[in-house]
Amino acid sequence: MDRTGYANPGDAELTCKAAGDNVELVKDRLQKMMPECGFGELGTCCVMCYMGPCRIDPFGQGPRTGVCGATPDVIVARNFLRSATGGASSHAGHARELAILLLDIAEGRAPGYKIREEGKLLSLAGKLGVQVDGRPVDAVAADVARKAFEDFGRQDGEPMNWIRARASRIEYEKWEKLGLIVSNPHNEIETAMHRTSMGNDADPLNLWVATLRMGMVDNFAGLMLATDLSDVIFGIPTPKVVTANYSVLKEGEVNIACHGHNPILASKVAEWADRLEGEAKAAGAGRVNVVGICCIGNELVMRYGIPYAGHEAQTELFLVTGAIDAMVVDIQCIMPSLPAIAKCYKTRFITTVPFVRHPEAIHVDFRPEVADEKAQEIVRHAIAAYKERKAAGIRPRIPDVSSKLLTGISVESLVSVLSAVDAKDPLKPVIDAIASGDILGAVGMVGCPNPKLRDGAMSEKMAEGLLRNNVLVVTTGCVNHILAQGGFLTSEATEKYAGPRLKKVLTAIGHAAGLGAPLPPVLHMGSCVDNSRIYDLLAALAGKLGVEISQLPVAGSAPEFITEKAISIGSFFLAAGILVHLAPAPRVFGSPFAVSLLTEKLPGLNGGKVLVAATPEGAVSGILAHIREKRQALGLP
Ligand code: SF4
Ligand code: SF4
């Protein structure tokens, strides 16, 4: 293990405990899997039909095509499109649940929820062409939800409402020229699965265009729809300082870890945790303590300041503390290993979604119409487990590690912070700083914690390298847990890591905004679906400068990605013309066509480009070179 200064001592302590408790962890299983399959890594393994599986070694003497004649270029493109489709399906499913909830609220079927942000609802309605004046809020909300359903059901080939309403004009026209405006997300998903099945699309370029279109589905039917509706229902995030890391678990309290993605469930569990405090006390506990893991941690911390536990690769270790009474999950990133580990510590592992189940889990059929009843049931499971676990003599071991972070940076809250510097034109100080070079550029670091790269502290070292070069970092997803635990989301981090010019800007903004200290150099913009906030911010900056997003000195990076969702998010940012850094290497290197398209041809077409670098140094230098190139093209120093 590369023992860097960033290693979380809590991880090491719990890894030792797990070994003593005979608990196998993700890293142990990864070790057993090595070496991983080279055909899979290159993307040249095909299982689309039963004449195969076929695998092609692009560098060797074996077969040059699959049994059906598919070339490595076709196989790689089909596999990649299917990954992007998996990711976009996850995000679109997440968003569609929120649209259903919005209609249920409007029509009185979800009494446990309400519309918290009327202003955002009305503004969204205006953009979608929904009549607002003189109408009750519920009627407007119902029509906004129906606009979403119209997108999921339309067969007329017209552009999605959400693209028409939310894409900036300049980007919309670019996408229209490139044939990337999509109509119905479900149709795109169906067509992608159809065209990649045996004996259909065998044109690699056509398949890659479909991947960029899937990126559009991901952003507009997934990320953006989800963020918009979550803000309307659960509130727009506002800045707040909160605590992160293992110490958010509390001995003597009923600990509930929420894990997953959609705030529909976790917001209710958090509410009932407070309301059932009396029952917790009667069971001998201080209170019910809810903490957030993975992206639901981002959703809960951004809006409600709920303690920010840890990232996806730490979920097993959180159970190993023996301090969690119930782990309640909804969708995505839930390792199937968890229920068995939970059992070792008599933790109740609770699934809540009909298509995300596990034979060893307790299943609570959580639905918005019975949300209050089901959330109480979940919290009572945790209280009962607390008593049982205490009686069984299970002794928690909570590593004494804690971090602070500033969270809650939505575009709205950022604009309000910047208004303290320039009330009339809040984005002007940022534009001026970019123009002068005080902010050399910005990078969105997003996505997951990959155990293959975690021990090398890939994300922390990259962030440090970028900040030292005056590049501002914004984050979403589990990367933010990593950087929060590393202390990057504090004013002190500006002093410690930011280059002198970036430090000057952040200090001025922080003091003007009344923080009494610099703004942190890493800004937390939310969960994975909140990559839409990054798009909104980029579109606003580009709009003010009168340029395309692809011309900005910015980049995206998924420095330790795991999931197909990262592939679909990356595909959108490629469609938007942005440099996308990926590590580990995406499974495209078996296709000369894909490598040339993603690194040479696409940049000439719309500015999008893939950078593959598995070391922090390589990633930082590639990104800096790109940012400098973009600055030069804009005539900036
Ligand atoms: S679709 Fe072609 S390449 Fe894929 S498994 Fe079948 S025969 Fe092999
Ligand atoms: S960042 Fe990755 S691992 Fe974390 S919740 Fe999102 S998709 Fe899952």
pLDDT of the residue at 60 = 81
pLDDT of the residue at 4 = 62
pLDDT of the residue at 3 = 42
Region class of 243: left (phi > 0), else alpha (psi between -120 and 50), else beta: beta
Distances (CA, A) of 451 to 25, 87, 577: 11, 20, 29
Which tens digits make up the pLDDT trace of 585-601?
A: 999 999 999 999 999 99
- Report CA torsion sign: 379, 384, 390, 394: negative
Neighbour-count burial for 117-126, b at 16+ CB within 10 Å, e otherwise: beebbbebbe
pLDDT of the residue at 2 = 44
Verify whether ligand 2 is closer than 6 Å to residue 140 (CB atom).
no
pLDDT of the residue at 1 = 39
Percent of the chain with pLDDT over 90: 98
Which tens digits make up the pLDDT trace of 400-439?
A: 999 999 999 999 999 999 999 999 999 999 999 999 999 9
- Report CA torsion sign: 54, 57, 62, 65: positive
Verify whether ligand 2 is closer than 6 Å to residue 563 (CB atom).
yes
Verify whether ligand 2 is closer than 6 Å to residue 477 (CB atom).
yes
- Cβ(340)–Cβ(360) below 8 Å: yes
Is the pLDDT assigned to residue 397 strictly greater than 80? yes
- Cβ(214)–Cβ(83) below 8 Å: no
Round the average pLDDT of the chain to a whole number and report it: 97
Q: Which residues are paired to 211 by β-bridges?
A: none
Neighbour-count burial for 452-480, b at 16+ CB within 10 Å, e otherwise: bbbebbbbbbbbbbbbbbbbbbbbbbbbb
Q: What is the Cα–Cα distance from 558 to 272, expressed in whole angstroms?
A: 35
DSSP state of 37: P
For 383-504, strand residue ranges (E) read: 403-407, 441-445, 471-475
Which tens digits make up the pLDDT trace of 100-147?
A: 999 999 999 999 999 999 999 999 999 999 999 999 999 999 999 999
Helices 458-468 and 478-485 cross at an angle (nearest 10°) of 70
Q: Which of 300, 563, 564, 569 to mutate to test the pocket of ligand 2 (most atoms within 8 A of CB)?
A: 563
Of all protein residues, the one whose alpha carbon is nearest to atom 8 of ligand 2 is 333
Is 575 in a helix, a strand, or coil? helix
Helix (H) or strand (E) holding 609: strand 609-612
Q: What is the Cα–Cα distance from 249 to 253, expressed in whole angstroms?
A: 8
Residue whose tokens read 């265009």 = 209
- Neighbour count for residue 362 (Cβ, 10 Å): 18
Verify whether ligand 2 is closer than 6 Å to residue 560 (CB atom).
no
Mean pLDDT of the region 295-308: 98
| Count of helix runs (H) and strand runs (E) in the chain | 29, 16
pLDDT of the residue at 169 = 94
DSSP state of 546: T
Instruction: State the number of CA atoms in the 13 A half-sphere of 537 facing the CB.
Output: 27
Neighbour-count burial for 366-397, b at 16+ CB within 10 Å, e otherwise: bbbeebbebbbbbbbbbbbbbeebbeeebebe
10 Å CB burial of residue 3 (0-12, 13-18, 19+) is exposed
Q: What is the Cα–Cα distance from 108 to 401, expressed in whole angstroms?
A: 44
CA angle in degrees (0–180, nearest 5) for 284-290-296: 160
Mean pLDDT of the region 146-150: 98
Mean pLDDT of the region 269-277: 98
Verify whether ligand 2 is closer than 6 Å to residue 323 (CB atom).
no
Q: What is the Cα–Cα distance from 616 to 172, expressed in whole angstroms?
A: 34
- Report CA torsion sign: 466, 468, 469, 471: positive
Q: Which of 26, 94, 334, 448 to mutate to test the pocket of ligand 2 (most atoms within 8 A of CB)?
A: 448
pLDDT of the residue at 61 = 83
Q: What is the Cα–Cα distance from 274 to 254, expressed in whole angstroms?
A: 11
Verify whether ligand 2 is closer than 6 Å to residue 338 (CB atom).
no
Which tens digits make up the pLDDT trace of 601-632?
A: 999 999 999 999 999 999 999 999 999 999 99
Verify whether ligand 2 is closer than 6 Å to residue 447 (CB atom).
yes
Atom of ligand 2 nearest to the CA of 562: 2
Query: Residues with Cβ < 8 Å from 311, sequence gap 6 or more?
Result: 293, 294, 448, 449, 478, 479, 481, 482
Q: What is the Cα–Cα distance from 215 to 12, expressed in whole angstroms?
A: 38
Q: How close are the terminal C-alpha atoms of the chain, in Å?
A: 41
Atom of ligand 1 nearest to the CA of 197: 1
Query: Residues with Cβ < 8 Å from 549, sequence gap 6 or more?
Result: 168, 171, 535, 538, 539, 542, 576, 577, 578
Atom of ligand 2 nearest to the CA of 332: 8
Ligand nearest to the CA of 94: 2
Query: Residues with Cβ < 8 Å from 523, sequence gap 6 or more?
Result: 409, 414, 472, 473, 474, 475, 489
Q: Which residues line ligand 1 (CB under 6 A)?
A: 46-49, 51-54, 66-68, 70, 75, 198
Of all protein residues, the one whose alpha carbon is nearest to atom 2 of ligand 1 is 68
pLDDT of the residue at 437 = 97
- At 407, give phi and psi (nearest 5°): -125, -175
Atom of ligand 2 nearest to the CA of 294: 5
Q: What is the Cα–Cα distance from 424 to 419, expressed in whole angstroms?
A: 7
Mean pLDDT of the region 460-487: 98
Instruction: State the number of CA atoms in the 13 A half-sphere of 242 facing the CB.
Output: 25
Distances (CA, A) of 403 to 441, 449, 474, 487: 27, 18, 18, 6
CA angle in degrees (0–180, nearest 5) for 101-107-109: 60
- Cβ(5)–Cβ(385) below 8 Å: no
Identify the CA nearest to 371 among candidates 145, 98, 111.
111
What the block records as the tokens of 623 is: 């990104």
Q: Is the bond preceding 72 in cis, omega lying within 30 degrees of 0? A: no
- Pick the more confident residue, 109 or 61: 109
Of all protein residues, the one whose alpha carbon is nearest to atom 2 of ligand 2 is 448
Helices 500-512 and 428-436 cross at an angle (nearest 10°) of 170
Is 199 in a helix, a strand, or coil? coil
| pTM for the predicted model, two decimal places | 0.97
Is the pLDDT assigned to residue 58 strictly greater than 90? no
Q: What is the Cα–Cα distance from 564 to 202, expressed in whole angstroms?
A: 22
